[in-house]
Structure 1
């Protein structure tokens, strides 16, 4: 089994997952690699090169931080923002895919959501 598929992901893995979603494009933010959704910041790699910043509502953020606080966290800077921090070397691809799709749904415009209603929806 390829260990890279279970844990130890990189920003290239993030790019692959995110660019598969509609209207996502490469960009930069604060001098670091980022992905944008129709020009709006979607995902960004922090300056440490291994922490991903992802949109997340408070309930989702609390859930992920309780499930695995070694992988999912926030810093004081992000307390007032709807963002979750993800340690890429520790996250599993299946969890990251769910988090990215849910983040996409959080910031996608209504018209784009209507065209792709199942992206980021909870799975049975």
Structure 2
């Protein structure tokens, strides 16, 4: 699958567009989302898997190992993989917002919280 024609890409873009200072650029030649030049999510080459920053990956993996998982490459990082074909949209929105919060500077976090009270 050509990652740029992934059926999930537009949903991801629409989900993060309301978050302050999000930019989209390539990472490993696939679409990725950044805040303040810090990567928080990217689509893998298969177009069906999302790499996402998280502080709670063990919780998610334990809850649903068919949807949330890691490979050896991610063992020492704060990233996990998400099967986009099986994750619920509401869960994905929550995880993308949390990933953005994990990587955003305090100034942007404050702005986001003020605008979403």
Q: Count how many residue pairs are aligned between Structure 1 and Structure 2.
A: 109
Q: Which runs of 4+ in 1 moved over 2 A?
A: none
Q: Aligned-pair RMSD on alpha carbons? A: 1.6
* C-alpha distance in structure 2 between counterparts of 1:109 and 1:64, whole Å: 25
Report the TM-score, using the length of structure 2 for normalisation: 0.86
2:108 match: 112
The residue aligned with 2:3 is none
| Ranges in structure 2 where 5+ consecutive residues have no aligned partner | 1-6
Structure 1 stretches lacking a partner, 5+ long = 1-8, 120-124
Instruction: Please report the TM-score for the alignment, with normalisation by the length of structure 1.
Output: 0.82
Which residue does the alignment assign to 2:99?
A: 103
Equivalent residue for 1:79, pick from 69, 75, 78: 75
